[in-house]
């Protein structure tokens, strides 16, 4: 594999720079040269002491407890759309373009990315405060072969969690039941009275991809939509829609910090496996 981080060959001690192809041993998270340098290899075969001391095999590839910058993709998309609009307006109206930009704000389709970025950043900050060896976080993960991303992946003692941050200011998340005698009853997510069920469908797609990445792992997997700045009642109750949890920030942190069966080593291994499947955004 091509290394994302520099490491040292567990066999000969040679420094292997990031981006170089090397052999990776998942069990120990150690790397070795695909072919060790000839001089070192010949010394090794002849039993001659090498100039540089050999390093014992050890986990040289590690991840910090919080990996990735929350909201980074949303910020970049907002800036891209904002700058593109600016170029279009000034190009079409050289004389009054700057005046028009000052008077008329970006369209909602653009500002939504900025609003979403703030929500992801706030959730990321809250997660970083409780992160540690037993609660590991991957922020803003790229879904390979697509332009989509996953806001937050969390591994903790109770399992793996996929979390989307949603920022609907002064709008109340709720649900209604549709169906009846001849149609299967189902819950529909509403926010501020509007049908937001596509958010549930999007989460199911993310859960499917994460489940594929963790194939063979006997670990609980759960998805949550975390609504920030919403019009939650004074004593809110969490609820689910199609097995997706709908929560507020404080409640989510309470769920993630519960005790469970996964130990630190398993949590670290699961974080690394998810990191390989869903790399951080560049």
203-248, pLDDT tens digit by residue?
999 999 999 999 988 999 999 999 999 999 988 888 999 999 999 9
pLDDT for position 163: 97
* H or E element at residue 112: helix 108-130
CA 74, 5, 163, 227 torsion-angle sign: negative
pLDDT grade, residue 114 (50/70/90)?
confident
Percent of the chain with pLDDT over 90: 46
Whether 106 shows a pLDDT value over 50: the answer reads yes
Cα gap 69→81, rounded to integer Å: 20
Which DSSP symbol is given to 48? P
pTM score over 0.85? no
The per-residue pLDDT of the chain, averaged, comes to 84
pLDDT number for residue 52 = 46
Residue 46 pLDDT > 60? no
Residue 193: Cβ within 10 Å count: 10
CB 51 within 8 A of CB 29: no
């Amino acid at each position: 594999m091509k290394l994302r981080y520099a490491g040292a060959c567990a066999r000969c001690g040679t420094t292997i720079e990031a981006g170089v192809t090397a052999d990776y041993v998942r069990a120990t998270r150690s790397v070795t040269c695909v072919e060790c340098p000839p001089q070192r290899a010949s010394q090794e075969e002849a039993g001659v002491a090498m100039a540089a001391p050999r390093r014992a095999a050890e986990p040289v590839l590690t991840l910090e407890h919080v990996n990735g910058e929350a909201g980074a993709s949303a910020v970049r998309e907002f800036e891209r759309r904002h700058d593109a609009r600016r170029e279009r307006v000034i190009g079409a109206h050289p004389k009054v373009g700057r005046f028009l930009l000052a008077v008329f704000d970006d369209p909602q389709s653009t500002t939504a990315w900025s609003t979403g970025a703030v929500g992801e950043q706030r959730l990321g900050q809250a997660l970083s405060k409780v992160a540690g060896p037993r609660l590991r976080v991957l922020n803003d993960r790229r879904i390979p072969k697509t332009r989509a991303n996953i806001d937050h992946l969390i591994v903790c003692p109770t399992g793996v969690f996929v979390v989307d941050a949603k920022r609907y200011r002064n709008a109340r998340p709720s649900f209604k039941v549709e169906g009846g005698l001849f149609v299967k009853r189902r819950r529909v997510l509403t926010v501020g009275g509007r049908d937001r069920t596509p958010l549930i469908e999007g989460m199911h797609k993310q859960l499917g991809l994460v489940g594929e990445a963790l194939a063979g792992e006997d670990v609980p997997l759960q998805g949550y939509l975390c609504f920030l700045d919403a019009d939650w009642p004074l004593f809110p109750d969490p609820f689910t829609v199609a097995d997706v949890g709908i929560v507020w920030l404080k409640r989510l942190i309470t769920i993630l910090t519960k005790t469970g069966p996964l130990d630190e080593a398993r949590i670290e291994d699961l974080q690394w496996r998810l990191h390989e499947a869903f790399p951080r955004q560049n």
